[in-house]
Structure 1
Amino acid sequence: MRQVALARRVGASGEVAPPLAEALRARGGAALSGYLSVRGEADPMPVMRDWDGPVGVPVVEAKAAPLGFRRWSPGCRLAPGTFGVPVPVDGAPMVPEVLIVPLLAFDARGFRLGYGGGFYDRTLERLRARGPVLAVGLAFAMQEVDAVPTEATDQPLDAVATEEGVRWFGSGAS
């Protein structure tokens, strides 16, 4: 399913930043984790650049562990991290309250298909145990599938923003 979803995403396009900004508007000023898009992922950069609070990006610190996060700012020095994803060289550690989450596919229940490492699931579980956190997937509408296979450890998203708007799930609905 991952290979099919990755192949389908190639060439996908659409303006995802305005719906994402709208989904996050009420949380302005909170510590935000975005990501530096790779392999055709929907790009959160316009929202990250305009955010009025601290911004970080995820960092893989160890296999089978939750993600860490480092502060990011436009123009900061980057170096390839795990899986070749760029990470800030000098970014201070931070803990996000709002996460923009990349994905390969998503379903109407709010579950996402990632790359298979379980990093975001472990991260969301840890952060949610500490207190409220908002997790918004960023995707193109064509990435929706009937059902994402799930396991007991999978963490649902609160919303998904696409070029067609924002879909809220469960208690995260607003």
Structure 2
Amino acid sequence: MEKKALIRKEMINLLKSFDSADKSHQSQKIIEKFLSSEQWRTAKVVALYMSQEFEFDLTPLFGQGEKQIVIPKTLPNRHMIFVKYDKNNLERTKFGILEPKSENAIVPDLILVPGLAWNKEGYRIGFGAGYYDRYLAHFSGQTASLCYDFQQKDFNPETHDISVGEIFTYEH
């Protein structure tokens, strides 16, 4: 647990100090790779997330193709659902993240899972609240994550952690 907290802190610092030109270059290459993937091509309902300023920016994916885009809404007891994205129907949460006002849950085909670090087996370190792990424990669709090259770390998952199906990252 302590190692996760250290990795979490290290990654937030690295992300906040990431050179903007390098970030832009890596983001473009990773998104291109993801958009040509089987997961993206076959999914009809895609769950994205509203990224914080330092996180991987998914904004270019919101207007892509004929996909229905859903985003997470947190609920009491650390649960969440996915709701249709409507830029005119968002509110800022206590975490400072934009979420839908609606509670009309939609189950996605593909979830892009946020995080701070991933190991080679696809396990991730998120922000520590467990929303995604709880949701993914009962999710049978596809999962993927987009991450920068420095976000791959070696760590041991905990018993409640759920791995991501595929990680799209920058290859040098």
Q: TM-score range by the shorter chain?
A: 0.7 to 0.9
Question: Which runs of 5 or more structure 1 residues have no equivalent in the other structure?
Answer: 166-174
In the TM superposition, what are the counterparts of 1:133-148 in structure 2 within 5 Å?
133-147=141-155
Work out the number of aligned pairs and report it.
157
In the TM superposition, what are the counterparts of 1:1-16 in structure 2 within 5 Å?
1-12=7-18, 13=23, 14=26, 15=28, 16=30
State the match for 1:27 in structure 2: 42
Taking structure 2 as the reference length, the TM-score comes to 0.82
Q: Secondary structure at the match of 2:56?
A: coil
State the match for 2:84 in structure 1: 71
Question: Which runs of 5 or more structure 2 residues have no equivalent in the other structure?
Answer: 1-6
Q: Distance in 1 between matches of 2:136 and 2:142?
A: 9
**Aligned-pair distance for 1:27?**
1.7
Q: Secondary structure at the match of 1:63?
A: helix
State the match for 2:3 in structure 1: none
Q: Judging changes above 3 Å, is the alpha-carbon distance between structure 1 residues 103 and 114 closer, same or farther for their aligned structure 2 residues?
A: same
Q: Tell me whether 1:111 sits opposite 2:123 in the alignment.
A: yes
For structure 1, which segment, 75-84 or 137-146, has the greater mean C-alpha deviation from structure 2 after superposition? 75-84
Q: Secondary structure at the match of 1:84?
A: coil
State the match for 2:170 in structure 1: 163
State the match for 1:172 in structure 2: none
Q: 2:68 aligns with which of 44, 54, 58?
A: 54
User: Does the 8 A contact of 1:19 with 1:163 survive in 2?
Assistant: no
Taking structure 1 as the reference length, the TM-score comes to 0.81
Percent identity of the aligned residues? 22
> What value does the CA root-mean-square deviation take over the aligned residues?
1.9
